[in-house]
Amino acid sequence: MGAARRDRADEAAPAGPVLRLRDLTLRFGGVTALAGLSMDVRRGELLALIGPNGAGKTSVLNCVSGLYRAQEGTITLAGSGGANHALHRLPPHRIAALGVARTFQNIELFKHMTVLENLMLGRHVHMRGGVLSGGLYLGRQRRREIEHRRHVEEVIDFMNLEPLRGAEVGNLAYGNQRLVEMARALALDPAILLLDEPTAGMNAEEKESMARFILDVHEERGITVVVIDHDIDVIMDISDRVVVLDFGRKIAEGTPDEVRRDPAVIDAYLGHAREEAAVGAGA
């Protein structure tokens, strides 16, 4: 599946970077989570961000989506019509409105609401209307509501969630909750989708299903995807390009095959494995 997919990606190479991170430094007290990180996300690619625990992967997504504010550096989104947006200066809701959507390592759904209601909330940045039109459900507001509902129903169909659309999210199996969280991000109609550990806690069958959904989202909907995952087999199978972090720095990037053979990557992973083994032996 992965090799054939990457061949197709090579035939239609992305035009250029849609997201640029330059000299990004993020500190928490005396801990440096990101240390002068620079990287690009190319338009139309499926980019994987990997590294040992504590490498700074989730910190990157948090900075891009506005949850963290880096002390140094810039994050630039290339918008439509040649406009550039300085994401490092914007709050999360403004970044979402520009087409940057994400999922979280820990599922962040409204557990007492239905699948449909959760996805409708994913459209919130596109909803407009005053108190009068919203309260009375008049004219333009009614047409907008119908359009938002149509878009959400299309996402539900795309993610095969139709049988679950009226179910409370808290009653769903864990794997289905993961799918709902991705569907809610898709309801925003994003240009870039940031996925933080989408297969975490899943069994082998659920991981295979999620990997296929990620590929479908990328290929059929044309969405640029940045994904973090600890399952290296999944990452190497679905990604066009891989960026490797260690201690908040980029130590390698390239195709999955190139990264797999990179001595710095092998050393980083094996080195951390040795440290954990040594700690376990001394406990």
| pLDDT greater than 70 at residue 134 | no
Tell me, yes or no, whether 106 lies in a domain: no
Residues 258 and 269 in one domain: yes
Question: Which runs of E-coded beta strand occur in 71-115?
Answer: 72-78, 84-86, 100-102
In a domain, 46, yes or no: yes
For 5-56, how does the pLDDT look when each residue is reduced to its tens digit (9 = 90+)? 544 444 444 458 999 999 999 999 889 999 999 999 999 999 999 999 889 9
Asked whether residue 104 is assigned to any structural domain, the reply reads no
Is residue 72 located within the same domain as residue 200? yes
pLDDT at 281: 45
Tokens 């054939």 sit on residue: 4
Amino acid at 211: A
Mean pLDDT of the chain: 86
Query: Shortest CA distance to 191 belongs to which of 221, 211, 212?
Result: 221
Residue 273: CB atoms within 10 A of its CB come to 11
Q: Where does a domain end: 188, 212, 237? A: 188
Average pLDDT over residues 144-158: 87
Is residue 131 pLDDT above 50, yes or no? no
Does residue 4 register a pLDDT over 50? no
pTM of the model: 0.85
Answer whether residue 146 is part of any domain. Answer: yes
**Is a pLDDT exceeding 90 seen at residue 162?**
yes
| Residue 130: predicted pLDDT | 44
Domain of 9 in residue numbering reads as: 2-99+190-282
- Which of residues 147, 171, 188 is at a domain's end? 188
- Domain match, 26 and 44 both: yes
CA distances for 122 relative to 18, 40, 97, 125, angstroms: 22, 26, 11, 8
Q: Are residues 91 and 9 in the same domain?
A: yes
What pLDDT score does 267 carry? 87
User: What's the whole-number mean pLDDT along residues 205-233?
Assistant: 94
pLDDT digits (tens, 9 = 90+) for 237-278: 999 999 999 999 999 999 999 998 899 998 887 665 544 444
pLDDT at position 121 is: 87
Same domain for 173 and 273, yes or no, is no
Q: Are residues 142 and 164 both part of a single domain?
A: yes
